[in-house]
Amino acid sequence: MGKESALRRFSMDEKEMELIRQLREENPRYRKLYEEHLLLEKELARLDGKRFLTPEEELERKNVQKLKLAGKDEMESIRKNYYG
């Protein structure tokens, strides 16, 4: 698979980005989940940037991953219910 094909596969198209923008503007729950998702991504990046994690940090990382996934699942559910 070439670079161009891989980039297309992993990047959102304009239509999807517009749907997300519209949901953020119109749906307070979606907006809150989106903002939490961004914060959790930053926290996960911070933890992943450490060379070693303490047992407490490992647990925190797993919890952040679970919260991030749960939020993403709810966002997807909202999107499907909103747009069909």
Average pLDDT (60-83) is: 94
Confidence of residue 83 (pLDDT cuts 50, 70, 90): confident
Confidence of residue 11 (pLDDT cuts 50, 70, 90): low
Average pLDDT (37-54) is: 97
> What string of H, E and C letters represents the secondary structure of the chain?
CCHHHHHHHHCCCHHHHHHHHHHHHHCHHHHHHHHHHHHHHHHHHHHHCCCCCCHHHHHHHHHHHHHHHHHHHHHHHHHHHHHC
Percent of the chain with pLDDT over 90: 69
